[in-house]
Amino acid sequence: MTDQVLLPALAAELRVVVGKLRRRLRQEAHLGDFTPSQVAALTHLERAEALTVTALARAEGVRPQSMGATVASLEVLGCVSGSADPTDGRQTLWALTTLFRTRLSASRAAREDWLADSLQMQFTLPEQAELARAAGLLRRLADLAHTAPEGEPKCP
């Protein structure tokens, strides 16, 4: 028996397992059902503090009109609020509301608590150490810059 890893099988297994873990963590979030585009906009706003619809659209590679609809839906839900851009009053800067930031923080804490409790109760200390090493490798994998292989079509 060889220790050689079958990369296509590993790639498929990682995709399935990471997706399953992601869904499980989402169940622990208790934040409601957001569309992928809403989640993307909220993530950018959490990191950047405040952005225009145009900047959000550019960051996600979508048309400003599409992002405008996404931001409008988030405003209706009370997740974001807009204010005049101090450098250009014609533009609106969008930011997470204080209430939503509080909900987001509580949701993140609930997911981390579930994960920490699960790790403690279901995994031995050596397994926990192995998962810690794997987490570093997964971070490195996730941080790779996305580049399409030669000859693969690139979406605009």
How confident is the model over 113-131, as pLDDT tens digits?
Answer: 999 999 999 999 999 999 9
- What is the per-residue pLDDT for 27? 80
- What is the per-residue pLDDT for 135? 95
Direct distance between the N- and C-terminal alpha carbons of the chain, in angstroms, rounded to an integer: 46
- R_g (Cα) of the chain, nearest Å: 20
Stretches where the chain sits below pLDDT 70 are 1-3, 30-32, 145-156
- What is the per-residue pLDDT for 35? 86
| CA atoms of 58 and 28, how far apart (whole Å) | 31
- Global pTM reads 0.69
Concatenating the DSSP letter of every residue in 20-58 gives: HHHHHHHHHH-S----HHHHHHHHHHHHHSEE-HHHHHH
The domain spans of the chain are: 7-142
CATH number of 7-142: 1.10.10.10
Residue burial 51-73, b: 16+ Cβ < 10 Å; e: rest: bbbebbbebbebeeeebbebbeb
Evaluate whether 35 touches 67 at the Cβ level (below 8 Å). Answer: no
Give, as one character, the DSSP assignment of residue 30. -
